[in-house]
Every structure is written in structure tokens, then in C-alpha cells.
Amino acid sequence: MASEQQSSTIKGSKVLMVGAGGIGCELLKTLALSGFQDIHIIDMDTIEVSNLNRQFLFRKSHVGQSKAKVARDAVLKFRPDISITPYHANVKDLDFNVDFYKQFNVVLNGLDNLDARRHVNRLCLAAGVPLVESGTTGFLGQVTVHVKGRTECYECQPKTAPKTYPVCTITSTPSKFVHCIVWAKDLLFAKLFGDKNQEHDLNVHSKDGSSSSKQAEDVFERQEEENIEQYGKRIYDHVFGYNIELALSSEETWRNRNKPRPIYVRDVFSSELAIQNGNLHNCSNGDPPSLSAMASLGLKNPQDLWSLKENSKVFLEALKLFFSKREKEIGNLSFDKDDQLAVEFVTAAANIRASSFGIPLHSLFEAKGIAGNIVHAVATTNAIIAGLIVIEAIKVLQHDVKNYRMTYCLEHPSRKMLLMPIEPSEPNKSCYVCSETPLDLEINTHRSKLRDVVDKIVKAKLGMNFPLILHGSALLYEVGDDLEEDEVANYAANLEKVLCKLPASVTSGTILTVEDLQQELKCSINIKHREEFDEEKEPDAMILSGWIQPRATEKSSNTAVDSEVSTSSASEAVPLVAEDDDDLQIIPTITGKKRKLSNVSNEMKNKRKAELHSKNDVVVLDDDNSDMSKKEQ
């Protein structure tokens, strides 16, 4: 039972919850039952069927509705006397600025992606509001406390970043099933059903760079005289047969590798089966996502391992269904793990490619988990973590600094403990979110454009949403709704100029100041000219140093990938794992007094090291953005 002082503190506090998913449902319930009277919730997601097995505040009738609003209504049924304010919105919206955060006594995060977590962390620092972070994956979970000036901020420690695969590995020399999934999802699916002008083309070119054939240039365009079946077979033969044969022409490539085998329709089917894959006329005419190649072909169990012939049938049938039943969507589609037909197509394509390269095949269930970035969630873990969040929130509200704990939920006992609490560290003096140390950027100032710096450094690595870039007193770039037309045109023109040709020339020794007014962040970047870069090891042709280097985990590719997780979708995930679109990490700073990094005990360091390399490093797929983030099943 809470003491009288605790009860008074709890009742008088105003709490912001970010996320109403797996952790969020448990957290809102626990807050309400613990006596909190004024709770605000932000979540931009709507309820999906897959949420219902653990997000207990939701029912089947709620599918499609706002998570934040439905969660509020559900809790008010058993705690009608409290105030719960829901916001069905993106936490990065401009309405949720520093002044908005200042009204709260504590912020509690239940997010599922690194990008949104970084954003909330920075606004909490700017507003001077304590933050309690959390995350779960399976039986693992953690709760961390971040109080400005007293503990490390969320970004003081490196977060696990995805391992990136060179495009040549994905397109030419795959060795793992994840490579095949990335190829099928981010290249083939996107080429057939999304933007046909994507950067990484599946049309193979000969060694001299010219097109290997007229057919190769036009293969993805459906000819006027072609029916759907003919088109499907031609695509199949091109990507699984012709492209492989052309790749085999390079003897050097396969000198130390197992050679793939080209696969053509004629090799897999008899002539009659090649023409009839399924019964299109028996397919449902309902909502597009309800269409299923599996249903059309009589395949029922998603955990079955399909043969090459079955994968080929699914591939051709799914392609046929897309072009016959969802033709209006062609050109605008992106992969969605909840789109059954898309999952079937990607699974089949990945398995056929895997078969060609001698890689073990996977079931649709397994392939969906990889392609859809799915982490299997455990409701009990969410409940435990939610309880720990509330415990830490109460300590924060009582300013009980000595008893703050960062608690880790383990799958197996360590020293007979499943919950491992450790004292939080002091702020990291090398953290560029809560320190002033400048960054160094090695770049070719004669070739690289300002756009390269904005896209690859300021946005991708520093995580700024509304950047402003200054060279001394000269404003080189700015974004905002209040800009005049001539200013917008001027900054757009600057983006296309090489650094040394900007109005205020950027050369070796230049110090750029970068700010994000929304996040109230500011940092300095020292420019160092460098003539050459290794194309494979340094594909961005620029090196940012002085920031916290993320750890690598197998996750994604250098190919263009679609980000299916919103930058603020709320759910359970592990904060120490970089999701989706966050191949790279952070480092803007808040101006202010530098703070010391504590001398953490060796035991604590070892615990943190073990935690960083624990099983919460899951394999996921995603792109720039944003949110390679984590989705649950």
C-alpha cells in the first residue's frame, strides 16, 4: 500500500504516456489502479487483429479504431473518476513541443522504435521533465530512468544498430535467407508493384554497363499483347533464370563460392501446370488484403514448408491476383506485413531465390516474421515492465534520487534473480544530446552537396526533424512553414550545390552549426576535407566521428527499403535495439554545462555489457528511415 505522502504525490501528478500498445495497455491499467488521476496518452496507431492476444483493453469490435481513445474508454469503465486525455496523433507532431511537455511531472515511454524514442528523450531534456523508458521482447524487458543532470539520457549509451548488407550481396551473392527476403521485399516487390523507377534496378546490365538486351530494359513493363499468365512467366524466367545465367558469366565471382542454378518455369512445371496455377475465378472479391494465393491454390497451413513447385505456383498466382484484382494499386504499393497477398508473394519469391542459391527454404510463417520485422510478444513480460515503470515513476515524483533503478527482466535467473536492478549512470560527457562536444565530419567538399549532409548526416545520423544549418552568421539551410517563397527557393538551390560552392563556402576547417528548433538541440560540426573514400566500407563518402557509434546487428540492407513502422507507433520493443529505419544514430546537443561521467563499478559495466548483447538483439528488416522499428505479432 502507498503511504499517505506517496498517495498525495500520485494524485497531484500529471503524467504523459507515449504509446498505448502492449506495454501501454498494461501501463495505463496500472497507473489507474495505483491512484494516478490525470493521465495523457499519445498514440497514432489504430487497433489491428494481431494486437488482441495481449493488448487486453481492446476487443475485436475495436479493430480499426484509435488505440489511445479505446484504451481511455476501457479504463474509465472501472476508474470513472479519473481524467484520461487521449491524442490520436504522431508524437513528433509540432503540437507536442517543449511547452507541451513542460506541463507534465513525468513522461512514460512505451514506444517501438528508436526514432520516436530519441525525439521524446530530447524534448524531455529540453523541458526538464524526467523520462522513464521501457521495452520488451519475448521474456526480456527493461525499464530505465532518465533525469536531466542526474542520470544518463536515453542516448548516452550506444543502441544496437542494424548490420547493413552491400547491394551487391543482396542482388548477386546472397548467402542467407534474410538476403533473399530483402531482395524479394525491397527490390522485386517494389519494382513490380511500387515505384518502377527505384534506384536499385533488377534489370541486369552487361559488364560494360550497357543493357544486356532490349528485353532486359523493358522486362518489367507488361506488353499490350500479353495476358497476365504470360507476363508472370516472363518475369519469373527473367529474375530467376536469365539474371542468374548472366551472373554466372563472371567466373571470378564464383571462384570461391557455390554457383547458383538458373530456374525457369519450364524446369519446374509441366506445360499444362505452367499455364494454370490456380482458380482465379474462385477468389474472393472482398477487400484487397483478403485476397490469397494460398486459398486459391488450396494451401492452408502457413507453417508448412512449400516445395519449389508450390513456391512457384504461389509466386505466379499472387502476381496474377495483384494485376487482376488490385490493378488500381499497382505503382503505389509498398510491402505491408498485414497484407496477406504481399506476404505470400515475398515468401514465394524469397524461397525460389533461396533454392537457386542453395539456401534452406522457410515457411510463410517464418518468412513473415523476418520480412514484417515481427517480435513475438509475451503479455506477462509487458505486465511486469508496466509495474516497474510505475514504481520508478513514483520514485521520480518523490525525487527519491538515491533509489532510482534501471531494471532488466531476464529470461533465465542470474544469481537467482529474474529482475536485475542497477543504479543508473551519470550523464555521458561524450553524448551529443546532453553535452557540447563538437563532431568531426570527413567529406569531399569539392564533390559532396549540401543535400548529402542534410540527408545522410543531419537527418539520418543526428535525427533532426526541422534542421537549420549555419556557417558563421550565414544561414545555408532551413525548413519551416513560415518561410517566404524566395527563401524556400534559395535553400532548395543550396541543397544542390557542392559544399565549396555555397554562398558561404564550406571547406576544410569550416565549423557548421546545426540546430533543430523543435527539439531545442544544437551542435557544431568541424568539416575536414578528404579526397577519397572506400566505396564498400564507406558508401556514404563521408565519416562522422565523435558521436556514439552504434553496435551492429544483422537486420537490414543498403537497398531501398520501405519503412512499415510509423515513427511513433506505440508498442513493445527493446530500447537497446535500433529498429527499422535507424541504421545510424544520433548526436545533436543541448547547450549547457558539461557533466561528468560516473565511475561505474566493473560489475555494473559487465551487467550492462551482457545486457547489450542479450537475446533482445533480434533479426529485423527495414530502411532509412525510420523506423527500421519493431513490430510485434
- For 383-399, the pLDDT digits (tens) are 999 999 999 999 999 99
20 is known to lie in a ligand binding site: yes
Residues 446-471 have a mean pLDDT of: 92
- Residue 500 predicted with pLDDT over 80: yes
How far is C-alpha 75 from the geometric centre of its chain's CA atoms?
Answer: 30
**What's the pLDDT at 383?**
96
Share of the chain above pLDDT 90, in %: 54
209 is known to lie in a ligand binding site: no
Q: What is the gyration radius of the CA atoms in the chain, in angstroms?
A: 26
- Where do you find CATH 3.40.50.720 in the chain? 4-147+376-397
Enzyme catalytic residues: 168
- For 409-432, the pLDDT digits (tens) are 998 888 888 999 999 999 988 888
- Where do you find CATH 3.10.290.20 in the chain? 439-545
97 is known to lie in a ligand binding site: no
Give the residue with greater pLDDT, 3 vs 498. Answer: 498
User: Which letter does DSSP use for residue 63 in this model?
Assistant: T
* CA distances to 511, 596, 600 from 604, in Å: 38, 17, 6
Q: List, in sequence order, the alpha helices (H) in 148-306.
A: 167-171, 177-182, 189-193, 214-218, 228-237, 243-248, 265-268, 271-275, 293-297
526 is known to lie in a ligand binding site: no
175-358 under CATH 3.30.930.10, yes or no: no
- Where do you find CATH 1.10.10.520 in the chain? 175-358
43 is known to lie in a ligand binding site: yes
Residues 210-235 have a mean pLDDT of: 73
- For 114-157, the pLDDT digits (tens) are 889 999 999 999 999 999 999 998 899 999 999 998 999 998 88
Of 51-60, 155-164, 194-203, 457-466, give the lowest mean pLDDT range.
194-203
- For 275-292, the pLDDT digits (tens) are 444 444 444 444 444 589
Q: For 335-360, give one letter per residue: b (16+ CB within 10 A) or e.
A: bebebbbbbbbbbbbbbbbbbbbebe
Cell numbers at 437, concatenated: 562536444
Average pLDDT, the chain: 80
Of 56-60, 218-222, 253-257, give the lowest mean pLDDT range.
218-222
- Residue 164 predicted with pLDDT over 80: no
597 is known to lie in a ligand binding site: no
Cβ atoms within 10 Å of 417's Cβ, excluding its own: 10
Distance CA 279, CA 265 (A): 19
**What's the pLDDT at 165?**
63
621 is known to lie in a ligand binding site: no
67 is known to lie in a ligand binding site: yes
25 is known to lie in a ligand binding site: no
* CA distances to 122, 515, 582, 628 from 164, in Å: 27, 28, 11, 11
**What's the pLDDT at 622?**
30
- For 82-118, the pLDDT digits (tens) are 999 999 999 999 899 999 999 999 999 999 888 899 9
Q: For 75-89, give one letter per residue: b (16+ CB within 10 A) or e.
A: beeebeeeebebbbe
Q: Phi/psi of residue 156, each to 5°?
A: -70, -25
**What's the pLDDT at 343?**
94
Of 197-206, 222-231, 435-444, give the lowest mean pLDDT range.
197-206
- Residue 611 predicted with pLDDT over 60: no
- For 539-552, the pLDDT digits (tens) are 889 998 876 554 44
- Residue 316 predicted with pLDDT over 60: yes
CATH superfamily of 439-545: Ubiquitin-like 2 activating enzyme e1b. Chain:  B, domain 3 (3.10.290.20)
- For 556-606, the pLDDT digits (tens) are 333 333 333 333 333 343 334 333 333 222 222 223 333 333 333 343 344
- Residue 52 predicted with pLDDT over 60: yes
Distance CA 423, CA 629 (A): 28
Residue 66, strand partner residues: 46
Distance CA 309, CA 328 (A): 29
Distance CA 619, CA 553 (A): 7
* CA distances to 402, 444, 471, 553 from 510, in Å: 44, 13, 8, 34
The arrangement of secondary structure in 4-147+376-397, i.e. its CATH architecture, is 3-Layer(aba) Sandwich (3.40)
52 is known to lie in a ligand binding site: yes
- Residue 626 predicted with pLDDT over 70: no
* CA distances to 92, 246, 515, 521, 565 from 465, in Å: 9, 43, 10, 11, 17
332 is known to lie in a ligand binding site: no
Distance CA 77, CA 56 (A): 14
pLDDT bucket at 2, cuts 50 / 70 / 90: low
301 is known to lie in a ligand binding site: no
**What's the pLDDT at 352?**
97
Give the residue with greater pLDDT, 280 vs 527. Answer: 527
72 is known to lie in a ligand binding site: no
Q: Work out whether the CA dihedral 613, 618, 619, 622 comes out positive or negative.
A: negative
Of 44-48, 196-200, 292-296, 333-337, give the lowest mean pLDDT range.
196-200
Q: What is the dihedral of CA 126, 421, 411, 68, to 10 degrees?
A: -40
Contact 297, 317 (CB under 8 A): yes
- Residue 608 predicted with pLDDT over 90: no
153 is known to lie in a ligand binding site: yes
Of 12-26, 151-165, 210-224, 325-339, give the lowest mean pLDDT range.
210-224
**What's the pLDDT at 58?**
96
